């Protein structure tokens, strides 16, 4: 379900790119998480969420796949790439 937390040796918020196998789980997550945190939807059922949101997923027993950890620069690059190749 998770792949360990990133190191916190630098400043800034960490982000996680995650995926859900089940669309029903993804819908529940979007509704539940969209209020307290910003959720960015990408292609192929992938989402970018801030690190604290992963705790919410675990608390609510919602399975997810951690694709990769992202820092602020990675996040900007990912969003630019997705703008160049829209959904």
pTM of the model: 0.62
Residue with tokens 């694709």: 67
* Average pLDDT for runs of 10 along the chain of length 87: 45 84 86 78 86 89 92 87 63
- Predicted local distance difference test score (pLDDT) of residue 37: 77
User: Would you say domain 15-84 falls under CATH 2.60.40?
Assistant: no
**Domain boundaries of the chain, sorted by first residue:** 15-84
What DSSP designation does 11 have? S
> What is the C-alpha separation between 66 and 6, in angstroms, rounded?
12
H/E stretch holding 46 reads: strand 46-50
The pLDDT of residue 8 is: 45
Find, among 3, 51, 44, the residue nearest to 23 by Cα. Answer: 44
Q: What is the DSSP letter of 66?
A: E
- Residue 83: the pLDDT is 65
Tokens 């669309």 label which residue? Answer: 23
């Amino acid at each position: 379900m998770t792949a360990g937390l990133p190191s916190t040796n630098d400043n800034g918020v960490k982000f996680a790119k995650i995926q859900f196998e089940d669309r029903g789980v993804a819908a529940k997550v979007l509704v539940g998480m969209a209020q307290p945190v910003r959720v960015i939807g990408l292609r192929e059922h992938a989402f970018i969420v801030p690190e604290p949101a992963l705790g919410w997923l675990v608390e609510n027993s919602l399975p997810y796949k951690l694709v990769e950890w992202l820092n602020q620069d990675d996040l900007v690059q990912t969003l630019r790439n997705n703008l160049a190749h829209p959904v």
